Amino acid sequence: MEEVEITEEEDEVVVAPTNFSMVEEGIFRSSFPRSSNFSFLETLNLRSVVYLCPEPYPQQNLQFLQSQNIKFFHFGIEGKTHRTGCVIGCFRKLQRWCLSSVFEEYKKFAGAKSRTTDLSFIETVDLLNLRKCLNSIIYRYLGHSSKKRKLLYRDDNLKVHLTSV
């Protein structure tokens, strides 16, 4: 009988950030990532990260983003809110989810941070103005020159249509 040498290679453990979940294809949510989450984040081939807390983003995390060519957007939202939950709740309303499902998802991820003021905000947010604001941001982000992609916007249509001009 032939002896077979078995070597155990140390596989890297890939750990998702706390509260990680897919929101929509290509859109993810999570709590603040730690360096132990970087290997996991690499597998997602992220193009951008949106950071909602007012505190400065740690240098180590910025270096990781830079090494992966990931764009970084910092919107420092002050106050005692579950920021990500509010943003995703508004997004779900734009997707025409029923309010009870929006609230259920919010509570699932907010846990002890769940606040009635957040739920009230999500319930009463003005979707018409939110759509206009988002479309304005998208339009500016895409640029205005004739060779860049332009936003075709219609109030009665929730989907963003892009075309080359």
**Does residue 35 have a pLDDT over 60?**
yes
Contact 118, 86 (CB under 8 A): yes
Q: Give mean pLDDT, residues 34-60.
A: 94
Structural domains for the chain: 21-126 (3.90.190.10), 128-164 (no CATH)
At residue 130, the pLDDT reads: 80
Q: Write out the chain in H/E/C secondary structure.
A: CCCCCCCCCCCCCCCCCCCCEEEECCEEECCCCCHHHHHHHHCCCCCEEEECCCCCCCHHHHHHHHHCCCEEEECCCCCCCCHHHHHHHHHHHHCCCCHHHHHHHHHHHHHHHCCHHHHHHHHHCCHHHHHHHHHHHHHHHHCCCCCCEEEECCCCCCCCEEEEC
Tokens encoding 65: 């983003």
At residue 133, the pLDDT reads: 78
Q: What is the residue-averaged pLDDT of the chain?
A: 82
Beta-bridged to residue 151, according to DSSP, are 162
The band of 46, judged by pLDDT with boundaries at 50, 70 and 90, is very high
Q: Which of 15-24, 31-40, 89-98, 134-143 has the lowest mean pLDDT?
A: 134-143
The band of 158, judged by pLDDT with boundaries at 50, 70 and 90, is very low
Tokens encoding 119: 């739920």
**pLDDT tens digits for range 82-110:** 899 999 999 999 999 999 999 999 999 99
